[in-house]
Amino acid sequence: MKILGISGAVSHDPSAALYIDGKLVAAAEEERFTRDKHAKGQFPYEATKWCLEFAGVSPKDINHVAFPYSSIGLDSPARWHYAKRYWYAPDRALDALLNGNRRFRKNQKRALQLMDDLGFDLAKTPFVPVEHHLAHASSAYHLSGFEEKTAILGIDGKGEYATTFFGYGENGVIHKIKEFYDPDSLGGLYAALTQFLGFDMFDGEFKVMGMAPYGDPSRYDLSPLLKTKPGGFEVNTQFVNTVGLRRYKKSGKSYYFSPKLVNWLGDKREGDSIDEPYIHYAASLQQLLEKTTLDLIDYYLGDILRETGKLCFAGGVALNVKLNQKIIQLPYVKELFVQPAANDSGTAIGAASYVAKSHGQPVEKMQHVYLGPKYTTEECIAACEAHPQKPQFQRLDNIIQRGAELLSEGHPVAWFQGRMEFGPRALGCRSILGDPSQKGIAERINEQIKFRERWRPFCPSILDTVATEILQSDHPSPYMTFTFEVAEHWKSRIPEVVHEDGTARAQIVTEDTNPRYYQLISELEKRTGNGVVLNTSMNRRGEPMVCSPEDALNMFFGCDLHYLILEDLLVTKS
């Protein structure tokens, strides 16, 4: 059975994923092909075409097209809750009650148009909508490999109406326990403060999380943003998650917070250089998210976790690695699986896996996220020869050893090999690398290559042979979805990947999942004594991660990098 999942209903991060007989054979995000970060307002035409071409199947071979957005009946509490909470905007409230599936119909029309444009037989290929948060839940639970009863958590901005999902999986079936609905959204609250702190939604949440350790959460009390009680929370829409006339507006742009927030906390942050008092707001916001989430986990999932200890997590907030560290530290959590593409791009996988399970198909445990395009050395040579900058390149038999040598000499190196990663993290196939023992390498990459804020941390890729010693934990971490306390005696050895609070967002690399990357880090270990490399995504600020050799060359010539490895090629500048 061949099942295609396509996402894009929530206006950002469209993607496509293809299952064949329960095996995830291909997945890719639209932004990587269009070079438009987050591909806002788009549907995954190029990603879908690539998935089909890679697998060698035609649209007519597909048995089902799964879509992570569904209609919500009037008998659901979701639409009534939305109407009640948005009473101050009568047009929104009435629309939820009288025309509550307007967005679903619009998205369904666009999805069916994509299918028709790409040659699907609409009469013979069922289009299967899946509730957005069920798709998130499936992307985590069905791919976790957990066989025992498993607690499931989903937190994002919102899907159709739901924002937060608590449930469990047992014998392959997902059961809902509790949902919360818009505007009561922890993801929405975090996103609104992200805008107030001067960043864009969908990208800036990572920046707020990086800023938080520099602040003191006790300096400002942000609890008025959120009213909590055992088993519940309510966002204060006087301040955030606002619509209509309540929104703060400046220079023709409308924000997800109100003028009352500005009157309370001061002007919205502008520019990259201002810290005070905003770092303290970030710290207080992070603390508020952590405490609320941990309390809710205990209330709704505590009994299940005390029984089996297994938890799955998806939705955009699942990419908050500091929160994930706190979850792992709960005494009754034995293992946490976070879907590596926990944001909305991962719902293409989730919808497809949900439909597969509903038709009795097995779904394989996720072993890696190397699911995108790959290129041969010959294709890389052709890209170099065609590039207008006429790059200097040479083909080397010892390219891995040469790469490790350059790193050990203190050079940043762009590293392009194998299949592109699916999800927001570079995991050793589309990466910019550095030796984390070299003082100043992180600052150099920040200022000369990545052009990003000075307090954003860089992450380590660590050999599995030394990971437990460095991270003081044996918890699996293949996808950079957790932070860990770095052992004291390692902080001075790899200072460039240790954040302000003494933690690191780590990827543990195994030889079986990425042998070439593993060999590179092993060669670096021979030279430095440290089985660790600094790893950040191969892109410049505001751009998506590179996909093709041409993308990599464009990035290379648009920054101060001097070394780029494309498969077996070493590309250099004069």
CATH number, residue 75: 3.30.420.40
User: What local confidence, expressed as pLDDT, does residue 455 receive?
Assistant: 67
The count of structural domains within the chain is 3
548 and 458 in one domain?
Answer: yes
In which element (H, E) is residue 394 found? Answer: strand 392-395
Report pLDDT digits (tens) over 7-20.
999 999 999 999 99
Q: How far apart are CA 220 and CA 34, in angstroms?
A: 42
310 and 426 in one domain?
Answer: no
Q: State the average pLDDT over residues 476-490.
A: 98
Report pLDDT digits (tens) over 222-239.
999 999 999 999 999 999
Range of the domain at 199: 186-336
For residue 166, give the DSSP letter: E
User: What local confidence, expressed as pLDDT, does residue 505 receive?
Assistant: 97
Taking the model in full, what pTM does it have? Answer: 0.97
In a domain, 471, yes or no: yes
Residue 448 pLDDT class (50, 70, 90 cuts):
confident
Q: State the average pLDDT over residues 510-529.
A: 98
Q: How far, rounded to the nearest angstrom, does the alpha carbon of residue 39 sit from its chain's CA centroid?
A: 14
460 and 316 in one domain?
Answer: no
Q: Evaluate whether 55 touches 20 at the Cβ level (below 8 Å).
A: yes
Report pLDDT digits (tens) over 288-323.
999 999 999 999 999 999 999 999 999 999 999 999
197 and 96 in one domain?
Answer: no
User: What local confidence, expressed as pLDDT, does residue 186 receive?
Assistant: 98
Say which residues have a Cβ less than 8 Å from residue 556's Cβ, sequence separation at least 6: 391, 414, 564, 571, 573
Q: How far apart are CA 393 and CA 557, in angstroms?
A: 13
- Secondary structure string (H, E, C) spanning 247-275: CCEECCEECCECHHHHHHHCCCCCCCCCC
Residue 271 pLDDT class (50, 70, 90 cuts):
confident
Q: What is the mean pLDDT of the chain?
A: 96
Dihedral over Cα of 8, 13, 14, 18: its sign: negative
108 and 223 in one domain?
Answer: no
Please name which of 93, 92, 70, 91 lies closest in space to residue 80, comparing C-alpha atoms: 93
Q: How far apart are CA 184 and CA 265, in angstroms?
A: 21
512 and 425 in one domain?
Answer: yes
**pLDDT greater than 70 at residue 454:** no
In a domain, 522, yes or no: yes
Q: How far apart are CA 233 and CA 242, in angstroms?
A: 16
Length of the chain equals 574
Please name which of 253, 191, 259 lies closest in space to residue 10, comparing C-alpha atoms: 191
Q: How many other C-beta atoms lie within 10 A of the C-beta of residue 558?
A: 13
326 and 210 in one domain?
Answer: yes
- DSSP-H helix ranges across 256-370: 259-265, 278-308, 321-328, 347-358
**Amino acid identity for residue 528 in this structure:** T
Angle at which helix 515-528 crosses helix 399-408, to 10 degrees, equals: 40
568 and 436 in one domain?
Answer: yes
Peptide bond into 183 cis (omega under 30): yes
230 and 94 in one domain?
Answer: no
User: What local confidence, expressed as pLDDT, does residue 456 receive?
Assistant: 75
User: What local confidence, expressed as pLDDT, does residue 202 receive?
Assistant: 87
Report pLDDT digits (tens) over 9-61.
999 999 999 999 999 999 999 999 999 999 999 999 999 999 999 999 999 99
Q: How far apart are CA 220 and CA 282, in angstroms?
A: 10
User: What local confidence, expressed as pLDDT, does residue 452 receive?
Assistant: 66
